[in-house]
Copies of this chain bind each other. A is one copy, B any other.
Amino acid sequence: MPTIKPPLDPEANPRVKAVFDDIRATRKTEFVNNLWRALAFDPALLEATWAEVKAVMATPGAIDPLTKEMVYIAVSVANACAYCVHSHSAAARTKGMSDAQHAELMRVIALAAKTNQLVTALQVPVDAAFDAAR
């Protein structure tokens, strides 16, 4: 159950309807997932969040769309956001992620978390060689 009362008929609000319509047009599907339905409790927050998701995730840029979804999954796993792991795993599959890629993604995420712990437990000093300004 959500912590806010989601509007029963969110699209009765024209600002919400405009965002939902843009989500449908951008993603070429009738499906609008629950995150957007929950955010509809505050149209301004809904608009700002969708504008940023559209700009970063649905606009061609310097990183290909599937890689972006994999990065999104990695952050969502690290932050233990179950909903986000589900929604972006589904999005990655839609964008072509194979089972082999999914398994390899899990290996990288798990290894990174593992060495993160080792480094923090050891308190390893940063090598001068990593200086980006050298």
Interface hits, A68-93 → B, CB 8 Å: 68, 70-90, 93
- Taking CB atoms, residues of chain B closer than 8 Å to A89 are 3, 121, 130, 132
A18 at the interface (CB under 8 A from B): no
Taking CB atoms and an 8 Å cut-off, the chain A residues in 30-79 that contact chain B are 31, 33-35, 38-39, 41-42, 44-45, 48-49, 52-53, 56-57, 61-63, 67-68, 70-79
Interface residues of A, CB < 8 Å — how many? 84
Shortest C-beta distance, A60 to chain B (Å), equals 11
Across the interface, which residues of B come within 8 angstroms of A83, CB to CB? 119, 124-126
Q: How many copies does the complex hold?
A: 6
Given contacts A81-B116, A113-B114, 16 further A-B contacts (CB under 8 A): A1-B133, A3-B85, A4-B132, A35-B119, A45-B118, A63-B108, A67-B67, A71-B74, A71-B105, A74-B78, A75-B116, A77-B117, A77-B120, A79-B117, A86-B127, A93-B132
Q: Which residue of B lies closest to A69 (CB)?
A: B108
- A131 in the interface (beta carbon within 8 A): yes
Please give, as numbers and ranges, the residues of chain B lying within 8 Å of A61 by CB-CB distance: 100, 104
